[in-house]
Structure 1
Amino acid sequence: MQRNAGTGTPVTRHRYATHEVSQAHDVIRQRCAGLELWSRSVADQFTYREEMAAVGPILATRVQCAMDIEMHLEPLADLLIVAMTTGRAEVRDGREEARSGPGQVLLQQPGRPLVNVGQHFDLYSINLDLRVVTEAATERTGIDPDDFRFEAMMPVSTEMGQFWHHTAAHLFRLFTGPAEPLQNPLVIRAATDLAASAALAAFPNTAMTLSYRVEANSLPIGSVRRAMSFIEAHAGEAITATQIADAARVTPRALQTAFRRHLSTTPMAYLRRTRLDRAHQDLLGADPTRGDTVAAIARRWGYLHTARFAADYRAVYGRSPTDTLHT
């Protein structure tokens, strides 16, 4: 099932359910280009349900299917990571074969023809633009984009597989929940960063194993100042490390090195601190009697979790955001 390329609105949602096997076949074929589909072992009380939400470069889906199916698919356009809740799945892509059961996860790479076999399953799937993950790997490690790739379908450990499973379920709940938070581009950016970071941590990839040469000639402070000015002017927007580096007129890797040398931090960490400072100022000027809340201010500055915001805020300001709001 592929993510629709480009949506005209921030959130696109779809929900469908049927008790008819033929209708389920039709829906699955519509979702997957070039699909060949066979079914067997259909439950007496057959049900097929799907619910999906596309937000930015992510498509989050939950599928429940009370039959065994085998699907032959054309190469995917996006990275696809499946998290099984119940049932079993088997994936073959011509180079690798993997199986998963309840609580386990599988990564399916774009550009490879796939054979997927599912047995009476309930699963979450996350389709993610590989360019987003590659950009995140470059920002965090300095790897050349041409050198980045995932190396296996299975996660690096059982614990990291569970971490991805929780991440997929969280993203699905976020995208299918109240629409208002998703109108904030910072929230969408934070969700995208979470998905990319979780994929990089959970599945074997070359950014984990290659060593990178730190640039010998560190940049002068002027490049860092240009980046800082850009961050401070655009902190309320969903900017990326690449955009910050472009504003500084250097490469992302060079800017990363310069920030560490001159500020002992990274461009993205500086951006997060700037947003936290802006949230602090909003709390100081807020009025709870007008309906201002910590949660709304946290979302305004890109925090998906109020608890995470509260922890970061306390670490910097020595008090809770609620105390600041009501002072």
Structure 2
Amino acid sequence: MGTLVFDSNDLAAIEVFLNGAYTTMSIGNGGRRDASAHIRRDMLGPVILDQLDLGFDMSYDADRLGKVCLCAVHTGTIEQAYPESGLNVLNAGEIGLLSAPDLPHRGMIRSARYSITMFDSALFARVGAPAEAGLPIQLSGRRPITAGAGHRLARVVEHLQQVAADPAAGDLVAATSADYLVATVLDTMPTTVSIEPTALDRRDAHPDAVRSALAYLESHLRDDLSVADIAAASSVTVRALQLAFRRHLDTTPLAHLRRLRLDAARQQLRAAGPGSSTTVTAVAYDWGFTHPGRFAVAYKRTYGEHPSRTLHS
């Protein structure tokens, strides 16, 4: 989806690059090692996936970033100071929020190899229920809710880095990947999401909403769809739509969308036939499945055979 690589041993050049890539900041060398930086940036739709390797202790004083910024540390340590809450330290093997979107921050990155994953907080509305009192969804803490949740979030980030580096990843893969990441963040980080349906939501969770949603899904299978898009097309709230699908179909809108795309992938595999240059991975990507292995597992669970058997039979 697009890759940028930056290498430099010049502190001034590193500062210029970081200002262009993130936000206004000043940096300094807080150790004895000479400055060195290797940075790789991949884009996956609206998600920015950076991998950074700093060979020196870099102090920084940064302005607000304006995006959700997750940081996973592989080696070294990142110490961050915030005006309202003091020092926060991320050690090797940990993942957390590097900076709140609307707050300045400063700190020290101690010879660290780490990743930064950024996206606009507006993406939360695509996959999550509305926050309390109609306010935008926000992260209410800087660490995952449990150690297991942190490991899961880190695995998702690593997987999306692989997808972003694959030139075969198209627009639908990028869109589903972004939703996958944002949904995982909502599930693993503390947030302001309100999940309880209101009385109006319960009233609107009727079969007509499901029928409208199904018709919309079947006619927009290749589009970049969020649960908010489906709810809007059905003239109900996200929570009403989710409740309606649970009541009447015992599933969720996005799970049903994945099943429809799985059916479409099966049709494409069958149409290819023996001797075709079509591959299972290409078909999976074509329908927004970013992980060929998981696609194969879901396919076999649903149809009783491996997708490669369908392709070659």
How far 1:109 moved relative to its partner? 1.8
Letter paired with 2:166: P
Pair 1:301–1:281, CA change in 2 (3 A)? same
Q: 2:187 aligned to 198, 201, 205, which one?
A: 201
Tell me the distance in 1 between the aligned counterparts of 2:214 and 2:196: 28
How far 1:272 moved relative to its partner? 0.8
1:105 aligns with 2:95: yes
Match of 2:166 in 1: 178
- Give the TM-score normalised by structure 1: 0.88
Tell me the distance in 2 between the aligned counterparts of 1:83 and 1:12: 21
- Report how many aligned residue pairs link the two structures: 310
Letter paired with 1:300: D
- Could you list the structure 1 runs, at least 4 aligned residues long, displaced by more than 4 angstroms after superposition: 142-145, 209-212
Pair 1:42–1:202, CA change in 2 (3 A)? farther
Q: 1:129 aligned to 120, 125, 137, which one?
A: 120
SS at match of 1:77: coil
How far 1:235 moved relative to its partner? 0.8
How far 1:144 moved relative to its partner? 6.2
Pair 1:326–1:64, CA change in 2 (3 A)? same
Q: Give runs of aligned pairs for residues 8-27 of structure 1, distance below 5 A.
A: 11-27=1-17
Letter paired with 1:151: S
Q: Which moved more, 1:47-56 or 1:146-155?
A: 146-155
Tell me the distance in 2 between the aligned counterparts of 1:288 and 1:188: 29
Letter paired with 2:202: A
Please tell me whether the aligned partners of residues 261 and 287 of structure 2 are also in contact (alpha carbons under 8 angstroms). Answer: yes
1:90 aligns with 2:76: no
Tell me the distance in 1 between the aligned counterparts of 2:158 and 2:184: 13
Match of 1:169 in 2: 158
Please tell me whether the aligned partners of residues 81 and 106 of structure 1 are also in contact (alpha carbons under 8 angstroms). Answer: yes
Match of 1:272 in 2: 258
Tell me the distance in 2 between the aligned counterparts of 1:162 and 1:180: 27
How far 1:119 moved relative to its partner? 0.5
Match of 1:294 in 2: 280
Pair 1:143–1:260, CA change in 2 (3 A)? farther
Match of 1:69 in 2: 58
Match of 1:29 in 2: 19
Tell me the distance in 2 between the aligned counterparts of 1:304 and 1:67: 35
Q: 1:39 aligned to 16, 21, 29, which one?
A: 29
Letter paired with 1:76: L
Pair 1:162–1:148, CA change in 2 (3 A)? same
Pair 1:288–1:145, CA change in 2 (3 A)? farther
- Give the TM-score normalised by structure 2: 0.91
Pair 1:179–1:228, CA change in 2 (3 A)? same
CA RMSD in angstroms comes to: 2.1
How far 1:211 moved relative to its partner? 4.3
